[in-house]
Structure 1
Amino acid sequence: MANAVLKIPVLSSIITSTAVKCSKSSFSSSLLHIYGRHICNCSSAASVSERQPQIRSPQLVALEYADLTIPHIVCEELGALRVRQHVNPLSASLSIPVEVPNWEDVFEDPKLPLVVDIGSGSGRFLMWLAKKNPGSKNYMGLEIRKKLVTRAEKWVKELALSNIHFLFANASISFKQLISTYPGPLMLVSILCPDPHFKKRHHKRRVLQKPLVDAIVDGLMPGGQVFIQSDVLEVAIDMRRYLDAESDKLVHVDNIDSSFLCDDAGWLKSNPMGIRTEREIHAEFEGAKIYRRMYQKLS
């Protein structure tokens, strides 16, 4: 039904709620151990005993994702991981559709509702959700930087999660085929802080284009949702324009559920997923605003 909002369980609050679970002294010492190179001194004039460590955004990421307990895997198995921050999705190497997996091999129950994160990055956002929702949903991350997918799959194995899978894939090329073969319903698609491709001649490289929008809308179950966000207003407006154009099939959730609060410009005031992405944490730490929209497919 159009007026029934598909609720995403609130799995965690912002960073302060996670911090309550940890001992401040023990967590601080572990942060110093893991992120020691990021700690700086407050004043060169101060004595060593008077200097206080300043928290940095990598430490905030570690705190937000403390429940995953996976930072050690980076050091022990993969070392320092360097990846390209900007990838051209129109390159020939990314124009070949990914091979559709045997869904029974990648998910314990392949008929569960599916959540897809396009541009899943490190994958920790999706893994956190998967760990909190065992047996009720499956999660799939699509990422075009292969090294990140390789590392994410190692993390999944370490965490023994059977409801999540990552694919090295160009969503613009492979999304439709993947979803059309999935045995269960598509519950939610997220596109969170995608590569902005600032130059006008590179706008065609942005992930959300009309063909992908059509594939997402067609693949969603009735009541299924699309969540977008960016710390770049121009990119957020671009994504919003594409989804607002589907008003005969999609409606913004604040129109059917008053619990979703928006500012005067129609952006959601808070993240409804219960956990922030790493990019989101970094951007907010630097004082940036996050522009968010959540859409729901009409019945």
Structure 2
Amino acid sequence: MAVIFSHFHTPSITMVLPKVASCFCRSLFSQSTIYNHQLLHYPIQNPIFNFNSNCQRIRTRVTKFSEASSVTDVISSPNLVALEYADLKLPINCEEVGNIRVRQHVNPLSTALSVPAEVPDWNDVFKDSSLPLMVDIGCGSGRFLLWLAKRNIGSNNYLGLEIRKKLVKRSNFWAKELSLSNTHFMFANATTSFQQLASSYPGPLVLVSILCPDPHFKKRHHKRRVLQKPLVDSILDNLTSGGQVFVQSDVHEVAVDMRNQFDSVPDMLHIDVIDPNFGCDPDGWLLNNPMGIRTEREIHAELEGAKVYRRMYQKGT
């Protein structure tokens, strides 16, 4: 993911507001419908957190308004990330990792990342390696995957791939602190490692996500983008029938590039074709995030007023 934020203390829902006559509180979040979708043609529990079809996730932010202050003065992305993931109760300090400041942009074509990651003993990594697997490519801080894993213990396994070692180390530390035996993070370049990792896993691969990857804006750097044809082919080769791929970006050009990669595959259908409950805008982008939780980059982008472009595909039987 392009931008990673460190963990902050969860802000209290009750805030002391200045005695300004014009100040008042209101919710900054609108209600967003979260769907309850099962993997079609595949008799296992969906790795996406299952909500009732009429369930609405309400996120309430308390803030203040006055003639002298604005929303951006009061609310920051790190605070919103902490609020979004508050129920994880992640420890802030991780002595094993130390200073967690990392480079936001890493060249995946560097020599250090050209060597495929060693395939782990899956029975050591997961308590039950026969469970369906979700892989998050470019998992960043790992909070997104930890949130999903905590809600699907005993149903699915979760593997995060990231090319920044410190983030991987801290993510595994957090997984251990949360006693999540269904979650593991690896320092790996998906381009060179995904095929052997996915093909060696004993259980079915049911979901792959690529969420807000590094855009590499310059044309000469487009070859560094994570989703290239070899990776697309590896995903398709290993994804089980009825398995899903979820991609999103707040950069339209990157989102279109990922969309074109999967739209060109006859065996991959966009989810709204299979299930009309997944609403799309006139351009075919999903109206809502179907995962039940936003990524850190997604939170940052939406705070700035940017649109997040989402697509979800399902492999035919």
Aligned partner letter, 1:275: I
Q: Which residue of 2 aligns with 1:298?
A: 316
Q: CA RMSD in A?
A: 2.5
- Residue 10 of structure 1 deviates from its aligned partner by 3.6
* Residues in 2 aligned to 1:144 and 1:286: alpha-carbon distance in whole angstroms: 26
* Residues in 2 aligned to 1:141 and 1:42: alpha-carbon distance in whole angstroms: 45
* Residues in 1 aligned to 2:106 and 2:51: alpha-carbon distance in whole angstroms: 32
Q: Which residue of 2 aligns with 1:72?
A: 92
User: In 2, are the aligned partners of 1:117 and 1:141 still within 8 Å (CA)?
Assistant: yes
* Residues in 2 aligned to 1:205 and 1:15: alpha-carbon distance in whole angstroms: 36
* Residues in 2 aligned to 1:4 and 1:264: alpha-carbon distance in whole angstroms: 28
- Residue 4 of structure 1 deviates from its aligned partner by 4.2
* Residues in 1 aligned to 2:41 and 2:110: alpha-carbon distance in whole angstroms: 41
Establish whether residue 254 from structure 1 lines up as the match of residue 254 from structure 2.
Answer: no
- Residue 85 of structure 1 deviates from its aligned partner by 0.5
Q: Which residue of 2 aligns with 1:16?
A: 58
Whose helix fraction is larger, Structure 1's or Structure 2's? 1
Q: Could you say if the C-alpha distance between residues 78 and 99 of structure 1 is closer, same or farther in structure 2, counting changes exceeding 3 Å?
A: closer
Q: Which residue of 1 aligns with 2:304?
A: 286
* Residues in 1 aligned to 2:173 and 2:309: alpha-carbon distance in whole angstroms: 32
Among 133, 155, 175, the alignment partner of 1:156 is: 175
User: In 2, are the aligned partners of 1:11 and 1:275 still within 8 Å (CA)?
Assistant: no
Question: What are the superposed Cα offsets for residues 72-96 of structure 1, whole Å, 9 maximum, x if unpaired?
Answer: 235x664541101001101111000
- Residue 281 of structure 1 deviates from its aligned partner by 0.4
- Residue 16 of structure 1 deviates from its aligned partner by 3.3
* Residues in 2 aligned to 1:133 and 1:72: alpha-carbon distance in whole angstroms: 24
Question: What are the superposed Cα offsets for residues 140-160 of structure 1, whole Å, 9 maximum, x if unpaired?
Answer: 000001110011011111111
Establish whether residue 109 from structure 1 lines up as the match of residue 104 from structure 2.
Answer: no
* Residues in 2 aligned to 1:288 and 1:155: alpha-carbon distance in whole angstroms: 30
Q: Which residue of 2 aligns with 1:94?
A: 113
* Residues in 2 aligned to 1:163 and 1:153: alpha-carbon distance in whole angstroms: 11
- What is the TM-score with the length of structure 2 in the denominator? 0.80
- What is the TM-score with the length of structure 1 in the denominator? 0.84
* Residues in 1 aligned to 2:79 and 2:90: alpha-carbon distance in whole angstroms: 14
* Residues in 1 aligned to 2:132 and 2:67: alpha-carbon distance in whole angstroms: 49
User: In 1, are the aligned partners of 2:91 and 2:174 still within 8 Å (CA)?
Assistant: no
Q: Which residue of 2 aligns with 1:47?
A: none
Question: What are the superposed Cα offsets for residues 153-192 of structure 1, whole Å, 9 maximum, x if unpaired?
Answer: 1111111100000000000000000011000000100000
User: In 2, are the aligned partners of 1:188 and 1:225 still within 8 Å (CA)?
Assistant: yes
1:72 match: secondary structure: coil
Q: How many residues are treated as equivalent by the alignment?
A: 270
Aligned partner letter, 1:9: F
Give ranges in structure 1 of 5+ residues lacking alignment: 29-40, 45-52
Give ranges in structure 2 of 5+ residues lacking alignment: 1-38
Q: Could you say if the C-alpha distance between residues 262 and 157 of structure 1 is closer, same or farther in structure 2, counting changes exceeding 3 Å?
A: same
- Residue 105 of structure 1 deviates from its aligned partner by 0.4
Q: Which residue of 1 aligns with 2:241?
A: 222
User: In 1, are the aligned partners of 2:191 and 2:230 still within 8 Å (CA)?
Assistant: yes
Aligned partner letter, 1:69: K
- Residue 11 of structure 1 deviates from its aligned partner by 5.6
* Residues in 1 aligned to 2:162 and 2:204: alpha-carbon distance in whole angstroms: 21
Q: Which residue of 2 aligns with 1:231?
A: 250
Q: Which residue of 2 aligns with 1:62?
A: 82
Q: Percent identity?
A: 65
Aligned partner letter, 1:177: Q
* Residues in 1 aligned to 2:179 and 2:255: alpha-carbon distance in whole angstroms: 35
2:242 match: secondary structure: strand
Q: Which residue of 1 aligns with 2:160?
A: 141
Aligned partner letter, 1:87: V
User: In 2, are the aligned partners of 1:73 and 1:155 still within 8 Å (CA)?
Assistant: no
Q: Which residue of 2 aligns with 1:168?
A: 187
Establish whether residue 182 from structure 1 lines up as the match of residue 201 from structure 2.
Answer: yes
Q: Could you say if the C-alpha distance between residues 223 and 60 of structure 1 is closer, same or farther in structure 2, counting changes exceeding 3 Å?
A: same
Establish whether residue 244 from structure 1 lines up as the match of residue 263 from structure 2.
Answer: yes
2:214 match: secondary structure: coil
